[in-house]
Amino acid sequence: MAAFDLIISGGTVATAADTFKADIGIRGGRVAAIADALDGADRIIDATGKLVLPGGVEAHCHIAQESGMGIMAADDYESGSISAVFGGNTTIVPFAAQHKGQSLREVVEIYHDRAGPKSVIDYAFHLIISDPTEQVLGQELPALIKDGYTSFKVFLTYPLLKLADEDLLNVLSVARENGAITMVHAENDDIIRWLSDKLMDAGHTAPKYHAVSHARIAESEATNRAIQLARLVDTPLLIVHVSTDEAASTIRRAQDAGLRVFGETCPQYLFLTIDDIDKDGMEGAKFCCSPPPRDEADQEAMWRALANGTFQVFHSDHAPYRFDETGKLHAGPNAPFKKLANGVPGIELRMPLLFSEGVGKGRISLNDFVALTSTNAAKIYGMHPRKGTIAIGSDADIAIWDPDREVNVSYDLLHDNVGYTPYEGMQLKGWPETVISAGRVAVSDGELHVEPGSGTFLERTPGYDFIRPAGTLAPETDPATNFGAKIV
C-alpha cells in the first residue's frame, strides 16, 4: 500500500504565517506529512512553479436563503458550493435565517435539508436571529451554540430583520455567556427609511438613489452603536461588510481602546463605486447591495484596513439574484430603488480578485492573503486548525494557484446561477487551478470531480479566543452584574 493517497510535490506552500518549499502528503483526507521531498502515493500532483495555499473559508455568503423581502437566492447549495470550489474555496459558512415567528431549531433543520444533499464541499451555518423571543434566547440559542452553531448575524436595518438595541443587548449577552460570536449588519434603519421616503416623494426612483438612501452616516452611526453595546456587555463583535473610511476608523479606534471588535470587507467595496449603480436605465440595479459601493477614497480606506490589520476577514457577501423577475427586478422591470433585491454575486471571484489586485499589486502580502481569506475566519468561527491552514492533521483543504495565469473575467467562466458578474472585463493575474477538498481532487483542468452531497457539515467550537486584533484585551467580568467590568 502506498504511504499516501496523494502527494503535492514541488510547490511553494504559504500559510498565514510562513512561505516555504515543501511536498505535502495526504492520507485519509488529512495532511499527513510536510517534508522536503516525499514519495509513495497513488497520485502525485506536480506543483512546480505554483503556490500551494489553504483552501478558502468563505464565511459570508447567502445560499438557498429567502431575503428579508422574501426573495429566494438564485444559488442553491449545488450551484453555490460548485461556484465556491472553482474559486479556490473548500469551506462555506452561509446562513440559516430565522424569519419572525420561526423557531431556530426548525430553521436549522430546513437549512440542513437544503445543504446536505447538495453541497460539494464542507459547510457550516451561521444563524440569523430576527426574532429573539424568550424561548430563543433562553433555550434554543444556548442549546444550538453547544451543538456547534457558534456564530450569528443580526441586522440593525431591513424592516423584517432588524433588532432594537435592547434585543441586540440580549443577543450579545447570550453570546457572551456561551462563547459565541455576534456579527452585525450595521446600518441605521431610521436614517435609511427617512431618506428613502424623501427621495421617493421627490420622484427619485432610479437605482443610484439606493446608494443615496444608504448614507455613510447610517453606517458609521450603527457601527459605533453596535460597538458601544458590545462594550457594555463586554463581548466580542464582528462588523460585517464595512464600506466606508469612517466605519473602518471607528473599528480601529475601538481596537486601539482594547475592545475585541473584528472587521470584514468585501470585493464590492474594493472594486465597485457609486458610478456603477449610476449606470444607464436599470443596469445599475446589478450593483445594488447594502451597504452600497462608495467612492475611490473609501476603496483606498478599505485597502488600508485590510493591510494594517483593522479587518481580519475578507468575504464575498455573495447574495445571488438574477437580473430578472425572479431576483433583482421581482417588483417589475422599472421598480423603484426601494424594491430592488439587494446583493451582488462574488463567491467565485473573491479570492482571485484579492490575489490579483492585493498580492499581485503589492498591497498585501501572500501570508496576509491566506489569513484574510481562510485562516482568520477558521479561527474566529471555531474551525481552526481543522480548517484554514496546512498543518499535520488538518483537513487536506488545499488550492494550488498558478500565480502567473492571466484571466479576463467573463461570466462564461463562472459556475453560479446569477447570469452576470459585476466584475465583467477585469483583467486578473493568478488563478486557483486545482482545488482539493478533504483530500479529494475536487477541481482540476477546469472540471469538477466531486458529487453533490459529498460535503460534510461542520460542528464548530467557540473560536474567537484564538485571535485578537492588536492591542485588544480579554473580557473582564464584573461579579456584581456578571457582565462587563466597565459598565460605569
Residues binding ligand DUC: number (CB under 6 A): 8
Q: How far apart are the first and last CA of the chain?
A: 66
Task: Give SS3 for 270.
Answer: helix
- Which of 171, 289, 305, 396 binds ligand DUC (CB under 6 A)? It is 289
- Which of 83, 250, 342, 437 binds ligand DUC (CB under 6 A)? It is 342
**Closer Cβ to Zn ion, 50 or 216, answer by number:** 216
What does each C-alpha distance from 301 to 47, 177, 392 come to in angstroms?
A: 36, 34, 37
**Closer Cβ to ligand DUC, 184 or 450, answer by number:** 184
Q: Report how far Cα 375 is from the mean position of its chain's Cα atoms.
A: 12
Q: Which does 343 bind (CB under 5 to 8 A by kind): ligand DUC, Zn ion, none?
A: ligand DUC
Residues 343-382, interacting with ligand DUC (CB under 6 A): 343
Give the three cell numbers for residue 427.
Answer: 483583467
Task: Give SS3 for 430.
Answer: strand
Residues 316-375, interacting with Zn ion (CB under 5 A): 317
Over the window 180 to 209, marking each residue x when it contacts Zn ion by CB under 5 A and - when it does not, the resulting string is -----x------------------------
**Closer Cβ to ligand DUC, 58 or 317, answer by number:** 317
The identity of residue 145, as a single letter, is: I
- The HSE-up count of residue 36 (CA atoms within 13 Å, CB side) is 0
For Zn ion, the nearest residue by Cβ is 185
**Closer Cβ to ligand DUC, 190 or 256, answer by number:** 190
Largest CA distance in the chain: 75
Residues 168-207, interacting with ligand DUC (CB under 6 A): 185
Q: Which does 68 bind (CB under 5 to 8 A by kind): ligand DUC, Zn ion, none?
A: none
Distance (Å, rounded) from C-alpha 124 to C-alpha 94? 7
Give the three cell numbers for residue 391.
Answer: 498543518
Residues 220-259, interacting with ligand DUC (CB under 6 A): none
Over the window 310 to 329, marking each residue x when it contacts ligand DUC by CB under 6 A and - when it does not, the resulting string is -------x-x----------
**Closer Cβ to ligand DUC, 75 or 234, answer by number:** 75
What is the DSSP track for 191-225?
A: HHHHHHHHHHHTT--STHHHHHHS-HHHHHHHHHH
Give the three cell numbers for residue 169.
Answer: 443587548
Is residue 290 close enough to count as binding ligand DUC by CB under 6 A?
yes
- Closest separation in Å from C-beta 161 to ligand DUC: 9
**Closer Cβ to ligand DUC, 69 or 407, answer by number:** 69
CA dihedral 63, 68, 71, 73 (to 10 degrees): -10
Residues 35-74, interacting with ligand DUC (CB under 6 A): 62
Is residue 130 close enough to count as binding ligand DUC by CB under 6 A?
no
Is residue 214 close enough to count as binding Zn ion by CB under 5 A?
no
Distance (Å, rounded) from C-alpha 395 to C-alpha 189? 41
Expressed in percent and rounded to 5, the helix, strand and coil fractions of the chain are: 30, 25, 45
Q: Which residues bind ligand DUC (CB under 6 A)?
A: 62, 185, 289-290, 317, 319, 342-343
